[in-house]
Amino acid sequence: MTTVASRKNVKVLSDNGALAGLLVLVVALSLLAPSFLTTQNLLNVGVQAAVVAVLAFGSTFVIVSGGIDLSVGSVAALSAMVGAWSSAEAGLPGPVALLLGLGTGVVAGLVNGALVSYGKLPAFIATLAMLSVARGLTLVVSQGSPTTTPDVVSFLGSNLTPYLPVPLLVMLVFFGITGFVLSRTYSGRAMYAIGGNEEAARLSGIDVRRQKLVIYALSGLFAAVAGMLLAGRLSSAGPQAAVGYELDAIAAVVIGGASLSGGVGRATGTLVGALVLAVLRNGLNQLQVSPFWQQVVIGAVIALAVLLDTLRRRTR
Amino acid sequence: MLLEARNIGKSFTGVRALDGVDFDVRPGEVHVLLGENGAGKSTLVKVLAGVHAPDTGTVERRGSLAVIHQELTLVPQLSVAENLFLGRPPRRFGIVDKARMREDAKALLDRVGLDVDPTTPVQDLGIAGQQMVEIARALSLNAQLLVLDEPTAVLTDTETDRLLDIMSELRAQGVGLVFITHHLDEIRRVADRITVLRDGRSVGTLPGTATVEHMIELMVGRTIDEQYPRRRTEPGEVLFKVEGLTRRGAFHDVSFHVRAGEVVGVAGLVGAGRTEVVRAAFGVDPYDSGTVEVAGRQVPRHDVQAAVRAGLGLVPEDRKGQGLVLTSTVADNLGLVTMKASTRAGLVDRRGQRERAAGMAKSLRVKASGLGQQVRELSGGNQQKVVIGKWLLADPRVLVLDEPTRGVDVGAKVEIYELVNRMTAAGRAVVLVSSDLPEVIGMSDRVVVMAHGRVAGELPGGTTQDKVMALAVQEFPA
């Protein structure tokens, strides 16, 4: 019985570990930077977190299942570009262009999944290749210059009312979807089994290969949505959009308590992880820390978060 | 004496692994250590090598000792010479002296009769050559005592011949060798003395000229009693049929069948191909030819999901590596096989899954703090109950149990046997693969004995261990 109690404590602590860190950050920044704790700024933080959060939700599926997806930044850019191009250059109606963009993300994810499951490539290699291919295709489609997005995409980056930014809403909706997929769906439960022990999952009759297709396709779809959010905020899809975002997404998942060796991870953790990164960036800007130093601080925070997590696990 | 161990006792968490064992090795002799799986051979080797400290008794050693395990410890990509001098290459002015390394390596390889270029990458050698390199490395460390732990299990007959020759050669050079093997014919060829372990005790030391019958008698010599509460049921129709199953290099023309209500044991030495056959039948690995049928319908080859749909279940031998998702809870593990069936429109009926898991955990008496406890925290016996439980929930027509009681304490063992009885009473068929002879004899209605990837014969349940062993050590013409 003592083990139950201590396990529950550990669970609460682990969720609150990242959450406690987030609260400490918020309190500290409120004291140091007077303009931090204003409604407008907090909404900004939410908007800034949205793109990375949606990418990270997709990466949560992949990481829980024991894989990795390095291509999400490039796939986000490509999807947004395909959407913008379809409307601005090909003259398709906005909603159709949006669907084409989202479909692009799914296709890129399916290719990743097929390479990993049927091609037996390590996920790192397959998605590294996709990172390059998708970025290259973005440049090909755009001819290297930004393209205007259709209204429906721009809407994703706008405010419904002064106090209701659409990106924030999208982030919360996808947070809900992620939690639902992970806890209620067959694919979600299979992710934990595959990530925890792929061989045991296979020997229990789970179609590991098909589930991997689903997992990477979901990651691609989420990347496409994140790409639309990013393009919508600028009303323009850029060929160099979201470069390096895959690393932020992975960082958010890991700060949120997921294990890169698979089998562990939750939607709430990832949301908190993405918020930690966004609060940190925003706060450092408010404090007028140079962008050069910001990178140093963010790197240190990632290392610290995972280090604390490892120490916690070891003392168990 | 190179080595003298007296009155060695060793327990692990209350289980007595060794009890008052005496063992010694003279220079220039081959001393065979013989016993069933779990008799305490590995533990004794670890005590001799200083890996485990004995609870009682003393080990006196003159000269250094090296253990050659079945799993090799070489770096496959490095050359033979680099492996021989791993971590201590000959140096000149701080730089590795490659010329000298090659010469020294050549001299060592000559000692073990391995004729290869020292610059060959170890991975190009094959398993036998790699073993020789490992032995040469031990010699280069001036080992006067070599422990060979089932080295021939992975070798072909010709390779085995060469290894036995080299062992004789080393013996002539004054090296003391401890040789562990299950192949009694090999023992007759090289042994000077044979010490037999049974249940952690030394039951006798025989001269190398001892007969095979004598060895087997000492090795098993245990009576079967109510440790094995098999309740027989009248066998029904054939539920499981394996016909002519063959995979080149692994198993050949394996046929057997199991009727409803029947337990068929599969016995044999480690490496006889038992696990390979059941894994192939269950669709985990492919096979070249043959058929697998469940209740008269053929099961597609190399397709686990089809096997599960057909009503097959497999409790694999490697519980942690293949049976359990250690990062998940008791409930999630119990629900692994039935998850698909309780999914509607992509959504898992988690409440139903939890209820069924709770019922199963209760009926199996899984000792856990709750369904939410991670399985990694359970004892071996309780983990095994979870693996069996996930299959019982799916109610397969045929359940294959591969070493179901390995590392399981006595109480949980009997509970697992009762589960087997429950399945057969319900008209299911059970295949019991086990290296535990008393278990496989005591719990099976028939015993199929495998040797060298073939079915060596079939015996009725309650047969004697001598008869099983006689079939298990049978040699087939190559």
pLDDT of residue A316: 46
pLDDT of residue A181: 97
- pLDDT-based confidence at residue B221 (cuts at 50, 70, 90): low
Give the pTM.
Answer: 0.77
Q: Is the pLDDT at B225 greater than 50, yes or no?
A: no
User: Who contacts B161 (Cβ-Cβ below 8 Å, separation ≥6)?
Assistant: none
Task: Report which residue type is found at A309.
Answer: D
Query: Is B371:B331 a contact under the CB 8 Å cutoff?
Result: yes
Q: Is the pLDDT at B305 greater than 80, yes or no?
A: yes
- Percent of residues, chain B, with pLDDT higher than 90: 56
Query: Is B42:B102 a contact under the CB 8 Å cutoff?
Result: no
The answer for A 242-271 residues in CB contact with B (under 8 A) is 259, 262-264
Query: Is B390:B336 a contact under the CB 8 Å cutoff?
Result: yes
Cβ count within 10 A of residue B211: 11
Contacts of B316 in chain A (CB under 8 A): 203
> pLDDT tens digit string along B166-211?
899 889 989 999 999 877 888 989 999 999 998 889 999 999 888 8
Q: A9 — contact with chain B (CB < 8 Å)?
A: no
Cβ count within 10 A of residue A23: 13
Q: Is the pLDDT at B412 greater than 90, yes or no?
A: no
Q: What is the mean pLDDT of chain B?
A: 89
Q: What is the mean pLDDT of residues B443-472?
A: 93
CA distance B394 to chain A (A): 10
Contacts of A1 in chain B (CB under 8 A): 369
Instruction: Kindly indicate whether the domain formed by B238-472 is annotated with CATH number 2.40.70.10.
Output: no
Q: Give the angle A271-A275-A280 at the CA atoms, nearest 5°.
A: 155
> Where are the domains positioned within chain B?
3-219, 238-472
> pLDDT tens digit string along B308-318?
999 999 999 88
Q: Is the pLDDT at A24 greater than 60, yes or no?
A: yes
Q: How far apart are CA A311 and CA A316, in angstroms?
A: 9
Q: How many CA atoms lie within 13 A of A123 on its CB side?
A: 25
CA distance B340 to chain A (A): 7
Task: Report which residue type is found at A113.
Answer: G
CA distance A261 to chain B (A): 10
- In 3D, which of B448, B441, B464 has the Cα closest to residue B228? B441
CA distance B131 to chain A (A): 29
CA distance A252 to chain B (A): 21
Q: Is the pLDDT at A21 greater than 90, yes or no?
A: no
User: With an 8 Å Cβ cutoff, are B350 and A205 in contact?
Assistant: no
- Percent of residues, chain A, with pLDDT higher than 90: 82
CA distance A267 to chain B (A): 17
Task: Report which residue type is found at A45.
Answer: V
- Minimal Cβ distance to A7: which of B336, B350, B373: B373
Tokens found for residue B220 = 């098993």
DSSP H stretches of helix in chain A: 2-32, 39-64, 72-88, 94-117, 123-142, 151-156, 166-184, 186-196, 198-203, 208-234, 245-255, 267-286, 291-315
Q: Is the pLDDT at A261 greater than 80, yes or no?
A: yes
DSSP H stretches of helix in B346-463: 350-363, 380-394, 410-425, 437-443
Beta bridge partners of B4: B24, B60
Contacts of B348 in chain A (CB under 8 A): 184-186, 189
CATH number for domain B3-219, candidates 3.30.470.10, 3.40.50.10360, 3.40.50.300, 2.40.30.10? 3.40.50.300
> pLDDT tens digit string along A170-204?
999 999 999 999 999 999 999 999 999 999 999 99
Identical topology for domains B3-219 and B238-472: yes
- pLDDT-based confidence at residue B436 (cuts at 50, 70, 90): confident
Contacts of B377 in chain A (CB under 8 A): 3
How far, in Å, are A275, A307, B87 from residue A303 at the CA level?
16, 6, 32
- Minimal Cβ distance to A3: which of B326, B337, B369: B369
Q: How far apart are CA A9 and CA B13, in angstroms?
A: 29
Query: Is A101:A86 a contact under the CB 8 Å cutoff?
Result: yes
User: Who contacts A24 (Cβ-Cβ below 8 Å, separation ≥6)?
Assistant: none
**In this predicted model, which residue has the larger pLDDT, B408 or B420?**
B420
How far, in Å, are A43, A83, B179, B367, B401 from residue A163 at the CA level?
8, 28, 79, 53, 62
User: With an 8 Å Cβ cutoff, are B325 and A264 in contact?
Assistant: no
The answer for A 142-171 residues in CB contact with B (under 8 A) is none
Cα nearest neighbour of B305 on chain A: A205
Q: Is the pLDDT at B135 greater than 80, yes or no?
A: yes
DSSP B334-345: HTTTTTTTTEET
B127 — alpha (psi -120 to 50), left (phi > 0) or beta? alpha
Q: How far apart are CA A224 and CA A234, in angstroms?
A: 16
Q: Is the pLDDT at A15 greater than 70, yes or no?
A: no
User: With an 8 Å Cβ cutoff, are B336 and A193 in contact?
Assistant: yes
> pLDDT tens digit string along A107-137?
999 999 999 999 999 999 999 999 999 999 9
Q: Is the pLDDT at B158 greater than 80, yes or no?
A: no
B405 by DSSP, 3-state: which? coil
CA distance B84 to chain A (A): 32
Q: How far apart are CA B443 and CA B416, in angstroms?
A: 11
- In 3D, which of A22, A125, A60, A41 has the Cα closest to residue A267? A60
- pLDDT-based confidence at residue A313 (cuts at 50, 70, 90): low
pLDDT of residue A98: 97
User: With an 8 Å Cβ cutoff, are A207 and B314 in contact?
Assistant: no
Tokens found for residue B277 = 């056959």
Beta bridge partners of B15: B12
Q: What is the mean pLDDT of residues B269-285?
A: 92
Q: Is the pLDDT at A240 greater than 80, yes or no?
A: yes
Q: Is the pLDDT at B409 greater than 90, yes or no?
A: no
Q: Is the pLDDT at B126 greater than 70, yes or no?
A: yes
> Where are the domains positioned within chain A?
37-315
pLDDT of residue A314: 62
Interface A:B, Cβ pairs < 8 A: 90
pLDDT of residue B224: 37
Query: CATH code for A37-315?
Result: 1.10.3470
User: Who contacts A303 (Cβ-Cβ below 8 Å, separation ≥6)?
Assistant: none
The answer for A 181-220 residues in CB contact with B (under 8 A) is 183-187, 189-190, 192-193, 195-197, 199-207
Axis-axis angle for helices A208-234, A166-184 (nearest 10): 170
Least confident range of A83-87, A266-270, B404-408 = B404-408
- pLDDT-based confidence at residue B223 (cuts at 50, 70, 90): very low
**In this predicted model, which residue has the larger pLDDT, B130 or A187?**
A187
